[in-house]
């Protein structure tokens, strides 16, 4: 089944509105949004019509609501909105069966992106530096967007585009000659120490900085000795990074980097040099787009002949198109680099590359509240370690109290810690900044990863106690308002996954999972002492089976959604 119940009703509602208004249905469909739960399932706002119709929105809504009739939908005006509510019983079985038969793939649609390719540049740390905590944004967002596109049937080419070329390697190299211990060249921590020292010194001492630049020029000129040293640093860094990615369960289709374009830059520069905006300025080559947009020029080549980040991105964009023939090429990179990407994309257009408008900067905001007292970046690995430490205290307490059964408390703590950190990030809209707070992300209640993992584990446990998920059941028995409310949330996952892909917005999936978990909890804990009776309805096996089937659909929804977010789903916690 490729169209969900939700999207079928949405289309029917949009069609009816479009007929009434005499406009194409496609124009209306995008304006139909989920309604406030108290008011139904779908909502259409009439504000935009007020001007043309010279009527107040509530009057327009009332008129429309009266004239519409869609089989199976209850349509009502609420203030300026026309709202529609799905019927209850007819599709209960369809929603439950859709979730249960898809299992961990629920929410996806393998036909949606068949034959299409998306390149996703994410994580992309700079070598010889540690992966900082702020890297979780690009890493988790990119990973999750990749998962979502894969679930929608796209071919995904995930690229970890390492910052492995540039003056900073000159800095590590000359720093290593000065402060390095050759025996520890394969020790990532040591390289970081060296880098920090060298960086400080270069800031204070122009000659040292010049030495670093000179070293990088040697690399660019292909000097074998310089390249050998650089290669060793690079290997060490990649080994270090891979450990962290393995810990987070992340694999890339490609780990490459800026250095891939060494020696290929002249071709790019030749290609663009013919364009009208390209000129020399104080010995450097620049693309001056100021005639086109009010933006500073892009620097392609410095006056010492060395190339830059932007030049390499131009080469990389073309290389990716040649290799993957992508339909979309995403760059999951901080908002701070917005100007850079506007310039690069603009230059691609100037180069008349027909695919230039397939490139998208998937920008995100900052994390506050996470630097050491000295203002240094906090390393991602350290944050994961600390999260595991903190979680394991709680896990051990629960194990001792008999609330959690596990033979591997450490592994469970690691899974919960990962879930906490990942969800703490992914629940935020990517464009907004947020402040990291230990107590907030690690809490087992509230809008957190552990809360969702717990909701999932609880569903598993209820099913286990109830004798497993039933093969057959009678959906018509699920008539309680709490049951219908839970079904409505379960039903939305496919829709939300599609929206999340379109908007590159994993937070939509995160939010829906919170809604599923709270609907599940309201259903299950209604009248707390009675909770077991909800499922173990005495003497009524049919009702019990139906309820277990619903719980099973909720379990599947949580498992599938968490998996899309890259969050582990332990069965016990
Ligand atoms: N290495 C860069 C940084 O850490 C990010 C690279 C993003 N990708 C790109 N194609 N420019 O700031």
CATH for 29: 3.30.1360.70
How far is residue 474 from each of residues 448, 494, 516, 537, 542, measured CA to CA in Å? Answer: 34, 24, 22, 15, 7
Atom of ligand 1 nearest to the CA of 163: 1
Tokens for 136? 């979780």
**Three-state secondary structure call for residue 116:** coil
**In this structure, are 332 and 480 located in the same domain?**
no
**In this structure, are 128 and 41 located in the same domain?**
no
What residues does 16 pair with on adjacent strands?
Answer: none
Point out the domain boundary residue: 368, 387, 421. 368
State the Cα–Cα distance between residues 257 and 331, nearest whole angstrom: 14
Q: Which residue has the tokens 């009266």?
A: 66
Q: Whose CA is nearest to atom 6 of ligand 1?
A: 124
**CA angle, 230 then 234 then 236, to 5°:** 120
pLDDT in tens, the chain (573 residues): 446 777 788 888 999 999 999 999 888 988 898 887 778 889 999 999 999 899 999 999 999 999 998 887 899 999 999 999 886 656 788 899 999 999 999 999 999 999 999 999 999 999 877 788 889 999 999 999 999 999 999 999 999 999 999 888 889 899 999 999 999 988 888 988 898 899 999 999 999 999 999 999 899 889 999 999 999 999 999 999 999 999 999 999 999 999 999 888 888 888 888 777 777 887 777 877 665 567 788 888 887 777 789 999 999 999 999 999 999 999 999 999 999 999 899 889 888 899 999 999 999 999 998 766 565 678 899 999 999 999 999 999 989 998 888 889 999 999 999 999 999 999 999 999 999 988 888 988 889 999 999 999 999 998 998 888 999 999 989 988 889 889 989 999 999 999 999 999 999 999 999 999 999 998 887 545 555 566 766 678 899 999 999 999 999 999 999 999 999 999 988
Residue 14 covered by a domain: yes
Q: Whose CA is nearest to atom 5 of ligand 1?
A: 124
Atom of ligand 1 nearest to the CA of 316: 10
**CATH number of the domain residue 142 falls in:** 3.40.50.620
DSSP one-letter code for 377: B
State the Cα–Cα distance between residues 273 and 283, nearest whole angstrom: 14
Point out the domain boundary residue: 368, 388, 421. 368
**Three-state secondary structure call for residue 359:** strand
Distance 479 CA to ligand 1 centre (A): 52
**In this structure, are 124 and 254 located in the same domain?**
yes
Query: For residue 436, what are the contacts with CB-CB under 8 A and spacing of at least 6?
Result: 133, 367, 368, 369, 370, 424
Of the candidates 512, 536, 553, 297, the residue with the CA atom closest to the CA atom of residue 426: 512
Q: Are 309 and 98 in contact (CB under 8 A)?
A: no
**In this structure, are 179 and 55 located in the same domain?**
no
**Across the beta sheet with 254-257, what order do the strands follow?**
254-257, 155-162, 117-121, 328-334, 359-364
Q: Whose CA is nearest to atom 10 of ligand 1?
A: 313
Atom of ligand 1 nearest to the CA of 313: 10
**In this structure, are 333 and 411 located in the same domain?**
no
Residue 305 covered by a domain: yes
Residue 109 covered by a domain: no
Q: Is the CB of 311 under 6 A from ligand 1?
A: no
**In this structure, are 287 and 428 located in the same domain?**
no
* DSSP-H helix ranges across 152-264: 167-179, 188-204, 206-220, 224-248
Distance 534 CA to ligand 1 centre (A): 52
Tokens for 286? 């620049």
**In this structure, are 83 and 125 located in the same domain?**
no
Q: Is the CB of 161 under 6 A from ligand 1?
A: yes
Strands (E), 7-164: 32-34, 42-45, 74-78, 81-85, 117-121, 155-162
What residues does 289 pair with on adjacent strands?
Answer: none
Pocket test for ligand 1, best of 163, 335, 341, 364 (most atoms within 8 A of CB): 163
Distance 67 CA to ligand 1 centre (A): 54
Residue 517 covered by a domain: yes
Point out the domain boundary residue: 316, 346, 368. 368
Q: What is the pLDDT of residue 267?
A: 85
As a residue count, the chain comes to 573
Pocket test for ligand 1, best of 161, 314, 380 (most atoms within 8 A of CB): 161
**Three-state secondary structure call for residue 448:** coil
Q: Which residue has the tokens 């859709």?
A: 98
Q: Is the CB of 333 under 6 A from ligand 1?
A: yes
Residue 21 covered by a domain: yes
Report pTM: 0.88
**In this structure, are 9 and 71 located in the same domain?**
yes
**In this structure, are 340 and 267 located in the same domain?**
yes
- Domain carrying residue 269: 117-368
**CATH number of the domain residue 441 falls in:** 1.10.730.10
Residue 223 covered by a domain: yes
Q: Is the CB of 113 under 6 A from ligand 1?
A: no
**In this structure, are 413 and 553 located in the same domain?**
yes
**In this structure, are 128 and 224 located in the same domain?**
yes
Residue 110 covered by a domain: no
Q: What is the pLDDT of residue 86?
A: 80
CA end-to-end distance (rounded Å), the chain: 33
Q: What is the pLDDT of residue 369?
A: 83
Residue 225 covered by a domain: yes
Q: Is the CB of 413 under 6 A from ligand 1?
A: no
What residues does 331 pair with on adjacent strands?
Answer: 121, 361
- In the chain, the number of structural domains is 3
Q: Which residue has the tokens 């890297």?
A: 135
**In this structure, are 165 and 302 located in the same domain?**
yes
Torsions phi, psi for 225 (to 5 deg): -65, -45
State the Cα–Cα distance between residues 296 and 70, nearest whole angstrom: 54
């Amino acid at each position: 089944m490729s169209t969900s119940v939700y999207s079928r009703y949405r289309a029917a509602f949009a069609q009816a509105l479009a007929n009434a208004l005499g406009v194409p249905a496609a124009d209306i469909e995008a304006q139909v949004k989920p309604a406030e739960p108290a008011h139904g399932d779908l909502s259409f706002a009439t504000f935009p019509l007020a001007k043309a119709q010279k009527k107040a929105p509530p009057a327009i809504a009332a008129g429309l609501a009266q004239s519409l009739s869609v089989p199976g939908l209850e349509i009502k005006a609420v203030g300026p909105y026309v709202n529609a509510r799905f019927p209850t019983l007819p599709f209960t079985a369809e929603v439950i069966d859709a979730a249960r038969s898809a299992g961990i793939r629920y929410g996806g649609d393998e036909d949606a992106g068949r034959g299409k390719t998306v390149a996703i540049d994410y994580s992309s740390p700079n070598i010889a530096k540690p992966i900082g905590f702020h890297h979780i944004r690009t890493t988790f967002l990119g990973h999750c967007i990749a998962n979502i596109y894969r679930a929608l049937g796209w071919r995904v080419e995930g690229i970890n585009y390492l910052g492995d070329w540039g003056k900073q390697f000159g800095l590590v190299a000359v720093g290593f000659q000065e402060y390095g211990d050759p025996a520890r060249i394969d020790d990532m921590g040591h390289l970081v120490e060296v880098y920090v020292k060298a960086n400080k010194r270069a800031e204070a001492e122009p000659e040292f900085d010049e030495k670093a630049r000179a070293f990088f020029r040697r690399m660019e000129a292909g000097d074998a000795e310089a390249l050998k040293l650089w290669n060793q640093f690079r290997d060490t860094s990649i080994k270090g990074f891979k450990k962290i990615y393995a810990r987070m369960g992340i694999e890339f289709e490609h780990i490459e980097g800026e250095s891939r374009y060494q020696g290929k830059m002249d071709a790019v520069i030749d290609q663009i040099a013919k364009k009208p905006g390209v000129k020399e300025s104080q010995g450097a080559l620049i693309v001056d787009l100021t005639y086109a947009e009010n933006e500073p020029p892009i620097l392609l080549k410095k006056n010492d002949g060395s190339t830059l980040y932007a030049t390499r991105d131009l080469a990389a964009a073309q290389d990716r198109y040649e290799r993957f023939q992508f339909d979309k090429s995403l760059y999951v990179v901080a908002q701070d680099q917005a100007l850079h990407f506007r310039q690069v994309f603009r230059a691609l257009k100037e180069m008349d590359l027909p695919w230039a408008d397939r490139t998208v900067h998937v920008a995100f905001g900052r994390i506050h509240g996470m630097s050491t007292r000295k203002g240094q970046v906090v390393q991602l690995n350290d944050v994961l370690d600390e999260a595991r430490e903190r979680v394991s205290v709680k896990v051990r307490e629960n194990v001792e109290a008999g609330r959690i059964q596990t033979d591997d408390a450490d592994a469970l703590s690691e899974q919960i810690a990962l879930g906490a950190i990942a969800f703490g990030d992914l629940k935020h809209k990517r464009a907004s900044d947020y402040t990291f707070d230990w107590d907030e992300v690690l809490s087992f209640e509230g809008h957190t990863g552990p809360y969702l993992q717990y909701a999932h584990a609880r569903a598993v446990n209820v099913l286990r106690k109830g004798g497993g998920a039933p093969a057959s059941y009678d959906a018509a028995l699920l008539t309680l308002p709490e049951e219908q409310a839970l079904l409505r949330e379960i039903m939305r996952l496919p829709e939300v996954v599609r929206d999340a892909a379109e908007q590159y917005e994993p937070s939509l999936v995160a939010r829906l999972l919170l809604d599923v978990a709270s609907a599940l909890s309201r259903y299950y804990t209604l009248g707390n002492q009675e909770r077991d009776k909800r499922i173990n309805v005495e003497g009524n096996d049919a009702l019990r089976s139906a309820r277990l089937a619903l719980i099973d659909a909720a379990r599947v929804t949580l498992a599938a959604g968490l998996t899309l977010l890259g969050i582990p789903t332990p069965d016990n916690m």
